[in-house]
């Protein structure tokens, strides 16, 4: 893939980079996306499983669905796109990964500066006393996930529709976007807010914004460059380009 000259210059000179990732980032690892033909929401509606009311109504069912997804995620490995992003940390002054993904694959690929906007499926917490639990530590009473500390209900530490994002993480992501020179969007439909504001903040701050996706998204037309293709293929090529250009 031949990158435009303008983008190559940005890669050479950028210091602060924000990588904004969505479910498409992990598709090549075998984790289903949400929307689109093979997406989770094609078969299941979010209001039935991925919201607070659904959880309170049927915690057994919702928790089992999350355990099922955890089992899938545990067996998946980071793909070359995750590793390429982790490698970017060696080549820029600051790389901030702002991810909508809950699968922790950026951590497993070795990235350091990760802001998880929608939580992390490997963590859970008690609704009553806030005690945190890893998924293998939870006790069940009649299939309900129960806190050992206070007997309260334990829920996955993810952000459902209608719930606020973790404020400190959001503030940090907003600041990173407002002060970056390059923003790379990877594999998101860009329809979920406030997350989708992140690349817009970068654009407003005059950063160069690139979108990598297998098909154009809501955000693509507002970007400086759209790179059509799989992130697991394009991101390693970007890192290769950086290595070839930078004079170490
Ligand atoms: C590839 C590829 C490959 C495939 N390579 N690409 C402003 C305007 C309108 C609405 C709102 C607004 N502000 C708030 C809202 C409401 C709502 C919202 O956004 N609704 C819209 C959908 C209409 N937002 C919220 O409720 C948020 N909270 C909030 O705003 O709090 C304030 C508040 C409080 C109280 C009352 C009201 C407001 C919270 C949003 C939480 C989102 N949670 C989920 C579930 C997480 C848990 C779980 O997994 O079960 O997060 S929903 C789901 O969508 C998940 C994702 O992180 C998120 C984004 O999806 P993503 O990553 O973009 O995936 P896809 O599937 O959509 O796209 C995949 C893309 O990859 C596609 O484009 C493919 O082409 C591409 N692709 N393979 C490259 N190999
Ligand atoms: Zn508790």
Distance linking the first and last C-alpha atoms of the chain: 23
Give buried/exposed letters for 56-94 (b at 16+ CB in 10 A, else e): eeebeebbebbeebbeebeeeebbbbbbbbbbbbebbee
Q: Which atom in ligand 1 lies closest to the alpha carbon of residue 188?
A: 63
For helices 197-204 and 167-178, the axis angle rounded to 10 degrees is: 30
Q: Is the pTM of this model over 0.75?
A: yes
Find where tokens 């067996």 sit. Answer: 75
CA 54 – CA 36 distance, rounded (Å): 23
Closest C-alpha to ligand 1, atom 40: 161
Separation of CA 192 and ligand 1 centre (Å): 3
Q: Is the dihedral of CA 104, 123, 113, 9 positive or negative?
A: positive
Q: Does the Cβ of 24 fall within 6 Å of ligand 1?
A: yes
HSE-CB for 43 with a 13 A CA cutoff:
6
118 noted as active-site residue: yes
Separation of CA 4 and ligand 1 centre (Å): 30
Cα separation values, 160 from 29, 88, 142, 165, Å: 23, 31, 24, 9
C-beta of residue 109 within 8 angstroms of C-beta of residue 127:
no
Q: What is the pLDDT along the chain (248 residues), one digit of tens a residue?
A: 899 999 999 999 999 999 999 999 999 999 999 998 888 888 888 777 889 999 999 999 999 999 999 999 999 999 999 999 999 999 999 999 999 999 999 999 999 999 999 999 999 999 999 999 998 899 999 999 999 999 999 999 999 999 999 999 999 999 999 999 999 999 999 999 999 999 999 999 999 999 999 999 999 999 999 999 999 999 999 999 999 987 66
Q: Does the Cβ of 152 fall within 6 Å of ligand 1?
A: no
Strands 154-158 and 144-146, by their bridges, are unpaired
């Amino acid at each position: 893939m031949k990158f435009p000259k303008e983008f190559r210059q940005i890669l050479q000179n950028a210091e602060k980079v924000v990588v904004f990732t969505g479910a498409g980032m992990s598709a090549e690892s075998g984790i289903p996306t949400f929307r689109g033909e093979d997406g989770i929401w094609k078969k299941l509606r979010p209001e039935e499983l991925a919201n607070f009311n659904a959880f309170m109504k049927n915690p057994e069912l919702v928790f089992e669905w999350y355990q099922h997804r955890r089992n899938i995620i545990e067996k998946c490995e980071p793909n070359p796109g995750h590793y390429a992003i982790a490698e970017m940390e060696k080549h820029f002054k600051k790389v901030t990964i702002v991810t909508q993904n809950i699968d922790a694959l950026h951590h497993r690929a070795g990235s350091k500066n990760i802001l998880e906007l929608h939580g992390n499926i490997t963590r859970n917490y008690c609704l009553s006393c806030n005690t945190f639990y890893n998924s293998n530590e939870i006790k069940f009473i009649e299939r309900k996930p129960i806190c050992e500390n206070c007997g309260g209900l334990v829920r996955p530490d993810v952000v459902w529709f209608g719930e606020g994002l973790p404020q400190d993480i959001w503030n940090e992501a907003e600041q990173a976007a407002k002060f970056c020179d390059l923003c790379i969007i990877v594999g998101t439909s860009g329809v979920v807010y406030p997350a989708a504001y992140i690349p817009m903040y970068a654009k407003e701050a005059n950063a160069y914004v690139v979108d990598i996706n297998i098909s154009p998204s809501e955000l693509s037309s507002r970007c400086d460059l759209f790179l059509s293709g799989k992130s697991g293929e394009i991101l390693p090529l970007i890192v290769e380009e950086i290595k070839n250009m930078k004079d170490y």
